[in-house]
Amino acid sequence: MKFINLLKMDWIKHLPIAHRGLHNDKISENTREAFKAAAINNYAIECDVVLSKDHEVVVIHDENLKRLCSTNLNVSDLYMSELREFTINNSESNIISLDEMLHIVNASVPIIIEIKGNYSPYIENRIYEIIRSYTGKVAIKSFNIAYIQWICEFLPFLTKGLIVDRNNNNNLSILDMNLDFISCDIDFIDSNFMSKVRKKNIPIITWTVDSFEKKQKAKMYSDNIIFEKIVP
């Protein structure tokens, strides 16, 4: 099996990461257009995933369609074929699967996949089935420590990181996990806890950097940024 693409991590520190793709007022988040724009500009991409009713890995941030599609339905209650029928924010962009997203990016830039929601025993295996033959650079992260613990135990060769902020995962025990990076809220990046992370030489990616002031702060305390609305 080809694991070498998952093990190369130089980009984690050096290539700015477009938050949900390179989106703006005309291009919606987590869409074909946002991912194409990021790839064309040579930015790494962060995307979000949840499971559909038929256990397809759906590229979408919210577990409910209300904000993005003005429809009060849960992603987990719909089949992938049904989800593809929805367009995002009154645009022509429809919801896509992780398979489709990887085909669009086509190994041109690295991707960080954020697993959303409560723990599901299916999603890590489904993601691995999808990315195992992908030739591009891929990392996985989550707020949910259970996902990352499972990956550390059963798929330790994958590039993996834990998301932290003031209210989540800010316990020193996480430093004993075999993490390849930590993704930290910009408002928590200068905390005492994160200073201890830095002493462990764990790469730090901060989010979401969307202003000049946050960009300057990120330069002081992190190795890389997840950005939107600015030129990184």
Query: Is the whole model's pTM more than 0.75, yes or no?
Result: yes
Domain count, the chain: 1
pLDDT in tens, 159-204: 999 999 999 998 999 999 999 999 999 999 999 999 999 999 999 9
Q: How confident is the model at residue 8 (pLDDT cuts 50, 70, 90)?
A: low
Structural domain harbouring 41: 4-48+104-227
In this model, does residue 3 exceed pLDDT 50? Answer: no
Inside any domain, residue 81: no
Local structure of residue 64 (DSSP, 8 states): B
Whether 182 is in a domain gets the answer yes
85-105 mean pLDDT: 94
- Whether 4 shows a pLDDT value over 90: the answer reads no
DSSP string, 177-221: S--SEEEEEGGGTTSHHHHHHHHTT--EEEEEE-SHHHHHHHHHH
In a domain, 185, yes or no: yes
In whole angstroms, give the CA distance from residue 177 to residue 180: 9
Residue 93 lies in a domain: no
209 in any annotated domain: yes
pLDDT tens digits for range 97-132: 999 999 999 999 999 999 998 898 889 999 999 999
Q: Is residue 77 part of a domain?
A: no
First-last CA distance in the chain = 35
41 inside domain? yes
Tell me the CATH number at 195.
Answer: 3.20.20.190
